[in-house]
A and B are shown apart, each in its own frame.
Chain A
Amino acid sequence: MNPTLEALFNEPEKRYLQPDELNVLSQYVSSVPERIQVYRQLRDSEVQTLQPVADQLQQRFSQVPEAILKRSIQHGLLVLRYAAMAMLIDDPSFLTKRLQPWLPEMVAAFDTLVVDEALHQLLAQRLSSTLTAQQFALLSPALVVAQQLLERAPSTNLAREAPLVGIL
């Protein structure tokens, strides 16, 4: 949950919540029906959202091995599921909590950064056309965090296809 909201529940032993604090809670609660609506839409159109993005990606990166493209598309699906959840609970930092440093390191290890960044851009474009401006605005902070996670991909010396057995 959004850390500001979560903090409201931390110290009931100290005092009752003040009007401005209850306002924060009310604002979130009144936004929940819209958030659930967007969430449902994202859930029900997962394949329809990503398939055109995957097709465009494959055209643009025809020289890239299919295994890399598939991994990238899986990253895209994963990010969108986490972004949808982050939108639902109004906490873009949800992505960082769960996927930092895992996602940037996976991106680096499998060398998918260029494809991932292109996919992210195409996905954002696609969502901005399938969602209303107001709906997209709810999802957008989480997508920004996802973009920042990709930018944090470190350089790595892990051989990506190195098998586990026989590494020495």
Chain B
Amino acid sequence: MISVADLLTDERLPSNYFASDVYVRGTLELGLLENRRGDRLLAIPEVMLKSIYAGLTSETGQAAALVLRNCGRWWGKNFYARFCEELSDYQKKAVADLPLAEFMLSLQECWRSHGWGLLHLNMDYYNHGFLVVEIQHSPFTIHAIQANKPSGALETGILQSFFSQLTGRDLNCMQTSCESLGADRNRFVLGLENRLQPAAAWVEAGQPHDAIMTQLISQ
């Protein structure tokens, strides 16, 4: 028989570490906004993001998206390390021992509590070697970097870096739909570089996400 007492031997029951009302706090008398571990958080005004995009475009022209993507990769590398550290400290087990569902739910909740939108991992193309990350209400894609082009360069970088470390493979990431271009959500496709590369031309030609995926999996 299952012993309930045996299920209570861990320090805590598995729960939602990133619940916003406990995760975001601060030492506000010192002007510090912090997460529940005491790491500093910043509230960035939307207009600041807009001015970074505008400043970069004015200084570097078409390279702005590339610069942002590199920033995103740098951010993703650090974010992955911190996210895993927080999660494993809380769960009292190595991140590699967590089931995928639990890990992804934590990432979703983390994303949401930081105000970065609603993230969802779509595994419809998992058997074909592609993961699709969908993000709604992203603050990063509200402002265009280049006219008529997806504007999620920062997120493309962070996701590429995050999932490369998670899977232990050198993944590429491509944004295939963008809220700034009228799509219902941002979609980011992750896959091995050589398999994903052809999609660049289809994205450039403005093909819809579904058409891009159909072509990718029929390669």
| Residue in B8, B16, B104, B124 whose beta carbon sits within 8 Å of that of A46 in the complex | B8
A73 contacts chain B at the CB level, 8 A cutoff: yes
Q: How far is the CA of A77 from the CA of B8 in the complex (A)?
A: 9
- Pairwise interchain contact B2-A66, C-beta atoms closer than 8 A: yes
Q: Which of chain B's residues 1-47 have a Cβ closer than 8 Å to chain A?
A: 1-5, 7-8, 13-16, 19-22
Instruction: Give Cα A66–Cα B3 distance, bound, in whole angstroms.
Output: 11
Q: With A77-B13, A102-B109, A158-B121 known to touch, is A164 a contact of B4 (CB < 8 Å)?
A: no
Residues of A within 8 A of B167 (CB): 165-168
Main secondary structure of the interface of B (DSSP, over half): mixed
Instruction: Report the Cα distance A102→B109, complex, angstroms.
Output: 8
Contact between A54 and B4, CB atoms less than 8 A apart: yes
Q: What is the predominant secondary structure among interface residues of chain A facing chain B? A: helix
CB of B152, distance to nearest CB on chain A (Å): 21
Q: Does B123 contact A (CB under 8 A)?
A: yes
Please indicate the chain A residues that have their CB under 8 angstroms from the CB of B2 in the complex: 54, 58, 66, 69-70, 73
Residues of chain B at interface, number, CB under 8 A:
43
Interfacial chain B residues near A55, Cβ < 8 Å = 1
A159 engages B100 (CB within 8 Å): yes
B7 touches which of A77, A105, A157, A168 (Cβ 8 Å): A77
6 smallest CB-CB distances across A and B, nearest first, come from A109-B101, A102-B16, A162-B100, A50-B4, A98-B19, A158-B101
A-B contact pairs, 14 of them (CB 8 A): A46-B8, A66-B2, A98-B16, A98-B21, A98-B22, A102-B105, A102-B109, A158-B100, A159-B101, A160-B99, A164-B100, A168-B126, A168-B130, A168-B190
